[in-house]
Amino acid sequence: MVIISLKQGRNGHWNVTRAHVTLFSDLQLEAAIALAKEVAYDEHVRSSRPLRVEMPGPASTLVLARYLDAPEASANDVMAA
């Protein structure tokens, strides 16, 4: 599964990353979430690979979106747009 991550920078703004490569930087949280979801959805549509968008939470990682093919989806999975 490909993971798109949101990481907070030292300046308090957010970065969107994939495999430790920064795709977008210095964003407000709302814009970072929207861009991360858009990137993940677009890549999922083009490649049919499962993708997940996540960010660090206070106690664990929060999954913000999950894009799966129908056979891989289960009752516990949320398809986000």
Task: Give per-residue pLDDT as tens, 24-73.
Answer: 999 999 999 999 999 999 999 999 999 999 999 989 999 999 999 855 55
pLDDT of residue 54: 98
Strand order of the β-sheet with 51-56 is 21-27, 14-18, 2-8, 51-56, 61-67
pLDDT of residue 75: 44
Segments making up each domain of the chain, as ranges: 2-72
Residue 78 has pLDDT above 80, yes or no: no
Q: For residue 15, give the H/E element and its range.
A: strand 14-18
The two tokens of residue 4 are 């798109």
What is the arithmetic mean of pLDDT over 7-33? 96
Among candidate residues 34, 78, 81, the one with its CA nearest the CA of residue 55:
34
**Hey, how many other C-beta atoms are within 10 angstroms of the C-beta on 36?**
27
pLDDT of residue 69: 80
